[in-house]
């Protein structure tokens, strides 16, 4: 009986991974041949008590909205990744504290593919990294934002992204699952939990 259960579990996992693989290949093909499936996203979101100011422990609201080339270029040196390289094919959102709209806390680049939101890159500002971060919670807020955008655009909360190896455990804390290589997915149940924290 135990062997049968193990066999069933193994088959289930393999089928799940194969389903995701097929979906991603199909998504990329549909994106290449039918870019009109990818509407521009312009919604502005407020995330309640999303960030914590480390100096005082105060929780503050954050605002997420689309950003554009000029603003990305202005802040590019504060990030390790060059988000300008994504602007042709992805929507870039910025995250800032409500009272500090000129200070970008993080960027995320994403696009809608059939059934799932592809997150090409997400990063916190360099001053929010390591032990001397000004604000905590930026990365988690960016993930929740992507889940919210996925839900609002009919994708049920499904998002996927390629993680850096050292960050896999970090994303797993929020319910992300490895499906192959360093590709991770967040499914609707976990997405809803993240969205409910902020929206």
Give domain status of residue 1, yes or no.
no
DSSP β-ladder status, 116-124 and 159-162: parallel
C-alpha closest to that of 107 among 87, 88, 133, 89:
87
Say which DSSP state 130 is in: G
φ, ψ of residue 50 in degrees (nearest 5): -80, -35
Q: What is this structure's pTM?
A: 0.82
Tell me the mean pLDDT in the region 11-24.
45
Give how many domains the chain has, as a whole number.
1
Distance of alpha carbon 118 from alpha carbon 190, whole angstroms: 16
Q: Residue 138's pLDDT band (boundaries 50, 70, 90)?
A: very high
- 7 pLDDT higher than 80: no
**DSSP H helical ranges for the chain:** 2-33, 69-75, 138-152, 168-172, 188-198
Give domain status of residue 12, yes or no.
no
Domain extent at residue 168: 38-198
Longest dimension (CA), the chain: 62
Share of the chain above pLDDT 70, in %: 80
Give domain status of residue 22, yes or no.
no
Give me the CATH number covering residue 148.
3.40.630.30
- The tokens of 77 are what? 């040196």
Give domain status of residue 130, yes or no.
yes
């Amino acid at each position: 009986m135990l062997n049968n259960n193990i066999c069933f579990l193994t088959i289930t996992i393999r089928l799940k991974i194969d389903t995701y693989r097929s979906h991603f290949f199909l998504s990329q093909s549909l994106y290449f041949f039918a870019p009109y499936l990818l509407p521009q996203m312009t919604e502005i979101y407020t995330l309640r008590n999303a960030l914590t100011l480390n100096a005082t422990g105060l929780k503050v609201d954050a605002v997420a909205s689309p950003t554009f080339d000029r603003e990305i270029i202005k802040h590019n040196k504060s990030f390790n990744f060059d988000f300008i390289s994504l602007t042709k094919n992805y929507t870039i959102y910025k995250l800032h504290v409500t009272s500090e709209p000129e200070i970008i806390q993080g960027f995320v680049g994403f696009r809608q593919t059939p059934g799932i939101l592809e997150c090409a890159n997400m990063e916190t500002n360099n001053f929010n990294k390591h032990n001397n971060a000004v604000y905590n919670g930026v990365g988690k807020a960016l993930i929740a934002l992507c889940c919210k955008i996925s839900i609002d655009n009919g994708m049920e909360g499904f998002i996927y992204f390629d993680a850096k190896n050292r960050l896999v455990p970090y994303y797993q804390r929020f319910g992300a699952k490895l499906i192959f290589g360093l590709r991770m997915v967040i499914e609707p149940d976990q997405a809803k939990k993240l969205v409910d924290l902020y929206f």
